[in-house]
Amino acid sequence: MHRLITLLIALLGLALGGALAQPLTVRVLVAQSASLPLEIPFTHSVRYPDGRLLYQSPTPVRWALTVLPNGHIGINDQDSGSAMLYFPDPGPGTYMTVGSARYRGGMALRAENGRLQVINVVDIEDYLRSVVPAEMPPSWPLEALKAQAIIARTYAVARISPQAAYDLCATEKCQVYSGVSRENPNSDRAVADTRGQLVAWQGQAAQTYFSSDSGGYTASSAEVWGGARPYLVSKPDPASQGPHSRWTLSVPLERVAQIAAGYGARVGTLRAVTVARYSESGRPQEIRLEGSAGSARIAGGEAGGFVRSLGARSTRVTLAVEGDSLTVTGSGSGHGVGLSQYGANGLAALGWNYAQILGFYYPGAHLGNYAVADAGSAPSIVAQAELPSRALPYLTAGR
């Protein structure tokens, strides 16, 4: 049966890849400064946003880009005559360099409030070649890398907005993207083997949240952020075993009181901190504090915020006052919602394929792909088979 499921997933992957109507580009803000160098080591053109040719260079150049007082983009101190320019993609095997980073694709320049925005216009599959190894070690099992590639693709597709100046940033606020230097043959293969595939839910790209390590129990989106999604649920995750699966933190009570005051809990000299209520996944939902000036409580999403403000790696914790300090004993790293990267690593080591890994972390969601009607519109989502459900072959972890 396991071999049959693997074969079906492989055939589905071929079908999904073949269904792509045309390439999909994403626009990634890779740099933002008053002045930036752009190196183009090949013959190229510079165009206005409407496609008109501004300049044709027969030789490689290094442009010094600035924003001029009139709001136009300056190239080597010369007025380009426009606040927006575009350097088209010259094709495979060629790269533009912004600062010290090399990028595939084209570059859009935009002057905005005295700063120059450099936006990499790149095929989404080439974008993922840099993102996946930045988010997950490329030495990890291929099936874990494939799962990471799919959720990264899903995240990017969900954020494509033709009306906006750009779709994504290049930092951890979006997904880490640093161009060609990050690419690795292992993650390249994961991207290629899952080309076009994403996680779908009711005709849309799913919210494929992920964290480093669930600490043995995933969190639901409802308990962390207050918005329930049927495929982002609490469940035992014993395969998630990272370097921070167990940790402790000691915080002086005086500092704890200061942090609690920021959440409206002012109790004077702090004497006791207890968890009055836990979520299903073992994360505090109500914390009670007692002090010389009375008692207070921090509840709901603010309870998690309070724990994170203490410096905790995750919110799957227990709390205990010991002397003049609060001891925080925790499990995992990150918010715990959706895929656990160390969990994906553990499941892949057990022989699970990427679809089974995704089915475990996003139960009830579907494997799908994107379809592009034209370059000026957002992609549509085509759902295919429901992600497979597979039971864990060993005892689940408790709290």
Domain identity same for 133 and 206: yes
**Which amino acid does the sequence have at 298?**
I
226 contacts 300 by C-beta, under 8 angstroms: yes
Residue 394 lies in a domain: no
Look at residue 361 in the predicted model and tell me its pLDDT.
97
- Among the candidates 93, 113, 133, a domain finishes at 113
Domain identity same for 319 and 349: no
Domain identity same for 362 and 303: no
Look at residue 375 in the predicted model and tell me its pLDDT.
66
Residue 88 lies in a domain: yes
Look at residue 395 in the predicted model and tell me its pLDDT.
41
Look at residue 174 in the predicted model and tell me its pLDDT.
93
The DSSP line for 360-396 is HHSTT-EEEEEE-S-TTSPPEEEEEEEPP----SSPP
- Among the candidates 49, 78, 113, a domain finishes at 113
pLDDT at 213 over 50: yes
Q: Which residues neighbour 344 within 8 Å (Cβ) at sequence distance 6 or greater?
A: 136, 144, 147, 148, 357, 361
pLDDT at 150 over 90: yes
319 contacts 274 by C-beta, under 8 angstroms: yes
Per the model's pLDDT, the better-predicted residue between 33 and 22 turns out to be 33
pLDDT tens digit string along 172-206? 999 999 999 999 999 999 999 999 999 999 999 99
Alpha carbon distance 124, 157 (integer Å): 8
Per the model's pLDDT, the better-predicted residue between 252 and 395 turns out to be 252
Domain identity same for 154 and 285: no
Domain identity same for 132 and 80: no
CA atoms within 13 A on the CB side of 292: 6
Domain identity same for 129 and 206: yes
Look at residue 342 in the predicted model and tell me its pLDDT.
97
Q: What is the DSSP letter of 397?
A: P
- How many residues are listed for the chain in this entry? 399
Residue 107 lies in a domain: yes
Domain identity same for 157 and 276: no
Residue 395 lies in a domain: no
Look at residue 38 in the predicted model and tell me its pLDDT.
86
Residue 29 lies in a domain: no
In the chain, pLDDT over 90 holds for what percent of residues?
Answer: 72
User: What domain count does the chain have?
Assistant: 3
Which helix (H) or strand (E) segment holds residue 36: the answer is strand 35-40
Cα torsion 182, 183, 188, 192: sign? positive
Q: Identify the domain containing residue 261 by its residue range.
A: 247-330
Domain identity same for 219 and 320: no
261 contacts 271 by C-beta, under 8 angstroms: no
Model's pTM, two decimal places? 0.87
Q: What is the mean pLDDT of residues 58-86?
A: 88
pLDDT at 61 over 90: no
Look at residue 12 in the predicted model and tell me its pLDDT.
40
Please report the beta strands in 188-316, taking only residues with DSSP state E, as ranges in sequence order.
197-201, 204-205, 210-211, 217-218, 235-236, 247-252, 270-278, 284-291, 294-299
Q: What is the mean pLDDT of residues 119-134?
A: 97
Look at residue 20 in the predicted model and tell me its pLDDT.
45
To the nearest 10°, the Cα dihedral for 242, 230, 236, 4?
-90
pLDDT tens digit string along 222-273? 999 888 999 999 999 999 999 999 999 999 999 999 999 999 999 999 999 9
Residue 30 lies in a domain: no
pLDDT at 21 over 50: no
Domain identity same for 132 and 17: yes
Look at residue 119 in the predicted model and tell me its pLDDT.
96
Task: Please give the structure tokens belonging to residue 173.
Answer: 């606020």
Domain identity same for 102 and 214: no
Please report the beta strands in 172-226, taking only residues with DSSP state E, as ranges in sequence order.
197-201, 204-205, 210-211, 217-218
Per the model's pLDDT, the better-predicted residue between 268 and 55 turns out to be 268
Domain identity same for 47 and 103: yes
Per the model's pLDDT, the better-predicted residue between 142 and 383 turns out to be 142
The pLDDT-based confidence of 1 (bands split at 50, 70, 90) is very low
Residue 269 lies in a domain: yes
- Among the candidates 311, 330, 349, a domain finishes at 330
Residue 153 lies in a domain: yes
Look at residue 336 in the predicted model and tell me its pLDDT.
96
pLDDT tens digit string along 326-377? 999 999 999 999 999 999 999 999 999 999 999 999 999 999 999 887 766 7
Range with lowest mean pLDDT among 73-87, 146-160, 207-221: 73-87
Domain identity same for 209 and 224: yes
Look at residue 198 in the predicted model and tell me its pLDDT.
97
Look at residue 146 in the predicted model and tell me its pLDDT.
98
Q: Which residues neighbour 112 within 8 Å (Cβ) at sequence distance 6 or greater?
A: 165
| Average predicted confidence (pLDDT) for the chain | 89
